[in-house]
Structure 1
Amino acid sequence: MGGANSVSNAFSNGISVNIPLYTGGLVEGQIDVAKLGKTNAQEEILRVEQATKYSAIQGYYGLLAYQELQGVYHEAVDNLQGHLDNVQAQYNVGTKAKVDVLSSDVSLANAKTTAITADNNVAVAESNLNNILGLPLETKLNLADHQLPFDTYNISLQEATDYAMKYRPEVLQAAIAVQEAERNIDIADAGNKPTVAITGGNDWADNTFPGIDANKRSWKVAAGVTYNFYDGGATKAKVNQAKQDLLVARETEQKTREAVQLEVKQAYLNIRSAAQKVEETQTVVDQARENYRIQNIRYQAGVGINLDVLDAQLSLNEAQVNHIQALYDYNVGIAKLEQVMGVDVESGVIHPSLTATTYRG
């Protein structure tokens, strides 16, 4: 008996399509979760933009405040230098004691040291603002404002809170998390339901490459229903876990809303407090400046003492610093309130309540 070996080639190609007709809510739920994820990402972008805007405003007013403080301390140097010259002149003619010259000279030296620190603070603040703006650190900035503004900002606490509850990114993200948790329950529960799908395919076969002989083509179309009668409790466990996740998401949402309300109230009260301080410190500055003028005149007339002049200058410095600090707190406080409210970055809203119905419409 004998045999023969044979060698043959076979090439085949095929295309198949599987279309789910019903998945028990699995695919639909996954699509909804994906859409919610996109919305959540958009809110995260807004949150970062708002935080960046606040940093820029804070840096801007910080530089402006340091520039004003620089002017205050250099003015003090000029005042004390003029006073020292006057004391020295009177000492030379024998009308003032040496101790007045010494104490005035010490005060001037301290003022110069403070002025040097103020110059350094301006340079650091300018570099900080450049860094926030993405500019080279050595860039020289020419600010549009020359002093801290004190513009009226009228908005009620209720308006600010309502606005934040509607537009603050963190509040919206917490609400989205609740919706995602609800969809995840439906996705998990899809394991308890059947799936229906239709399948179609087209195959080609040939003994020569590339194997697409039209005469050897076959078609197939099929429909099927799949149902898992028992999975060891895996689906039930997933549903229970999804329900627990929903409870956690709802609790987190409530805590987020309460935290945002607290932030809004704190920012609002800080603005009101800063506004009162601005008005009060302005009065104190005017009084301190007048007191310094009077003490200077009294000393030059020989009826005042040197210590009164030096104390008056210190009081004037303190009053001016407190006033600048109050103005800084007021302006940065407004920016902070708008951040915690979720005010649109690009609109430049001054009174957010006026545009609450159109923002992100």
Structure 2
Amino acid sequence: MYNYVYYSRKLCLSATILSLAILIWNTTIVSAQAQGGNGYKLTLAEAVQFAKSQNKWVQAANIEESAVGEDRKDAYSTALPTVNVSGSYQRFSDLTLFTGGLSHSTTGPRKPTPNSAALGVDALFNIYSGGRQRALQKEQTSRLNLAKLNTRDQSGNIGLQTANQYLDLVSLNDLQKFIRDQLKRAQTRLNNINALHKNQKVTKSDVLRAEVALSNVELSLQQNENDIAIANQKLDILINVPDSVRILPIDSAGMAKPEIRLLLPLIEAAGVLSYSVQKAAENVEVQRAKLRSVQSNNRPSLSFYTAYGLNYPNYLFFPPVNQAYAIGFVGLKAQYSISSLYHNKSKVAAGKLRVKELEVQQEAYSDNVRTEIKSYYIKYAEALTRISVNEHSVEQARVNYRIVNTKYLNQLSLLTDLLDADNLYQESRFNLIRAQTDALAIYYHILYASGNL
């Protein structure tokens, strides 16, 4: 009886602890859902990093890189000896001999036996082929480097798109706050105008215009909510998460901007480290390897080959003997194509011209990158200046709205002036956000153009 009570109490205690744990877990989950719902909080750097690793285009580029890596392994494996194993068996029919045309014939068994069989192994090892093997290996190595650059380029491009989309979402979220503030001002303004109209201090037209202004703000709010939903879906696709996930940006437009002097090393190195320039350089190396492969046709080749086999019957003697024999050999094979002196001449010339063409293209890519990144550098400095100007403009517009609003309530200004002041305040706040996000977008363009994203 004592044991039964003891185990019953122990079981009840365990059930109580388990229930408490489940309750705490459910409370935590509910609290998290209440805080973020199906939202997912991300910083700008996290969003870019997720996109660079999870985006489907980046995954496809990684698969292609792996495939090119296998091609390179295949190019190196061709330097290994070629080994073949062969076997055969034949059963011959009787031998028919004709004399006097086809009028007389005699038939007899095939000598020394109607059976024939062979089993052997042979190997061929390339000693020297004019540099063709090394040229192929170099070409595949350059192609692998090119595939890696394509993956990095695709990853950086997706990162740039993600940064732009994230900043667009930040801008729309801030605009949502501004529109809600404007909506509160419009509602307060309409209430004040209705009160003034009841006291016969303003005309009915002011009431109607205030109502129209309120309706326009409500419509802007709805339009901005739709824009946020569209921008969020685009960002979901870039970072490869379900469309139902709502991204909640942690970073704001006012996040710290890099000092312009810190961008100078990126600007100076862009002409060499840019993805397009690096890919152009690898294309030159690929073409040079192809040229060396073509030039190898003008050189002799030397290979080692061997074979060993078991044969039946023995045809080495005459007459043939009904017996099996085994024999093998080793040897060297040298070959030189005299016709390559005139057949290969134009191919080599064409290969050299293509190398020169790609070298010129590499220089052109470098010029374009330097021009592009210097333009971004200038625009970044302009964006930083615009931020400081807009910060001052926001404060001026806020003070101006307060003054005009006070004057209107005292019947010292027109409703048109008040609506203009409200729109100016709204526009100046949004211009500040746009200037801040533009500066960050330009910064990410500089990172991508310099091969650092």
TM-score, scaled relative to structure 1: 0.88
CA distance in 2, matches of 1:161, 1:146: 26
Provide the residue aligned with 2:306 in structure 1.
Answer: 200
Distance in 2 (CA, whole Å) between partners of 1:142 and 1:120 is: 16
Could you report, residue by residue, the CA deviation over 1:209-236 in whole angstroms, capped at 9, with x for unpaired residues?
xxxxxx7322111112111112472211
The amino acid across from 2:439 in the alignment is Y
Q: Does 1:45 align with 2:147?
A: no
Which structure 2 residues correspond to residues 91-240 of structure 1 after superposition, within 5 A? Answer: 91-155=197-261, 158-206=264-312, 216-231=325-340, 233-240=342-349
Shift of 1:48: 0.5
Q: Does 1:4 align with 2:108?
A: yes
2:437 to 314, 318, 328: 328
Q: Quote the residue 1:289 is aligned against.
A: 398
Structure 1 CA distance, aligned partners of 2:342 and 2:254?
67
Q: Partners in 2 of 1:334 and 1:76 — Cα distance?
A: 31
Residues 150 and 327 in structure 1, CA contact (< 8 A), matched pair in contact too? no
CA contact (8 A) 1:64 1:146 kept: yes
The match for 2:418 is 309
**Counterpart contact for 1:281–1:319, Cα < 8 Å:** yes
Paired residue type of 2:302: V
Q: What is the aligned partner in structure 2 of residue 318 from structure 1?
A: 427
CA–CA separation in structure 2 for the residues paired with 1:176 and 1:317? 51
Alignment-derived partner of residue 178 in structure 2: 72
1:32 counterpart = 2:141 = no
Deviations 1:10-57 (CA, angstroms, capped at 9, x unpaired): 222222222222211211111111111111111111100101111111
Supply the distance in 1 between the matched residues of 2:167 and 2:254 (Cα, whole angstroms): 7
| Percent pairwise identity | 20
State how far apart, in whole Å, the 2-side matches of 1:158 and 1:147 are. Answer: 23
Preserved contact between residue 65 and residue 148 of structure 1 (Cα < 8 Å): no
**Letter in structure 2 aligned against 1:236:** K
Residue aligning to 2:355: 246
Out of 361, 365, 370, the position equivalent to 1:261 is: 370
Report the Cα distance in structure 2 between the residues aligned to 1:236 and 1:186, rounded to whole angstroms: 13
Following the alignment from structure 1 to structure 2, what is the Cα–Cα distance between the partners of residues 251 and 49? 27
- Cα distance in 2 for residues equivalent to 1:2 and 1:104: 123
Partner of 1:349: none
Comparing 4-13 with 18-27, which one deviates more in the overlay? 4-13
Of residues 20, 43, 60, the one that matches 2:166 is 60
Letter in 1 for 2:305: T
2:121 is aligned to 15
**SS of corresponding position for 1:142:** strand
SS at match of 1:10: strand
1:292-324 residue CA offsets vs partner (Å, 9 max, x unmatched): 111111122232222221110011111122112
User: Quick one: structure 1 residues 153 and 205, their matched pair in 2 at CA, closer, same or farther if it must change by over 3 Å?
Assistant: farther
- Which of residues 79, 83, 87 in structure 1 aligns to 2:189? 83
Task: Call closer, same or farther: CA 1:113–1:314 in 2, change over 3 Å.
Answer: same
Q: Which amino acid aligns with 1:132?
A: L
Post-superposition Cα deviations, 1:216-273, rounded to whole Å, max 9, x if no partner, equal 3221111121111124722111101101111111111111111111221122222112
CA–CA separation in structure 2 for the residues paired with 1:163 and 1:187 = 33
Where structure 2 has 5 or more consecutive residues not aligned to the other structure, the ranges are 1-104, 314-323
Deviations, residues 123-149 of structure 1 (Å, cap 9, x unaligned): 111111111111111212222224442
Task: Between 46-55 and 264-273, report the one with greater CA deviation.
Answer: 264-273
- Kindly indicate which of the two structures has a greater share of residues assigned to strand: 2
Q: Structure 2: which amino acid aligns with 1:267? A: Y
Matched residue of 1:219: which SS? strand
Contact conserved, 1:29 with 1:184, CA < 8 A, in 2? yes
Q: Which amino acid aligns with 1:40?
A: L
Distance 1:178 1:122 in 2: 45
* 8 Å contact from structure 1 (residues 64, 148) kept in 2: no
C-alpha change, 1:147 and 1:265, in structure 2 (3 Å) is closer
Inter-CA distance 301–2: structure 2 relative to 1 (3 Å threshold): closer
Aligned residues: 337
The SS at the match of 2:408 is helix
Aligned position for 1:276: 385
Distance 1:230 1:56 in 2: 57
Q: Does the 8 Å contact 2:128/2:303 carry over to 1?
A: yes
SS in structure 1 of the partner of residue 248 of structure 2: coil
Kept after mapping to 1: 8 A contact 2:167/2:253: no
Aligned AA (1:293): R
- Partners in 1 of 2:108 and 2:234 — Cα distance? 88
CA, structure 1 residues 9+2, in 2 after alignment: closer, same or farther (shift >3 Å)? Answer: closer
Cα distance in 2 for residues equivalent to 1:325 and 1:147: 8
Aligned residue for 1:212?
none
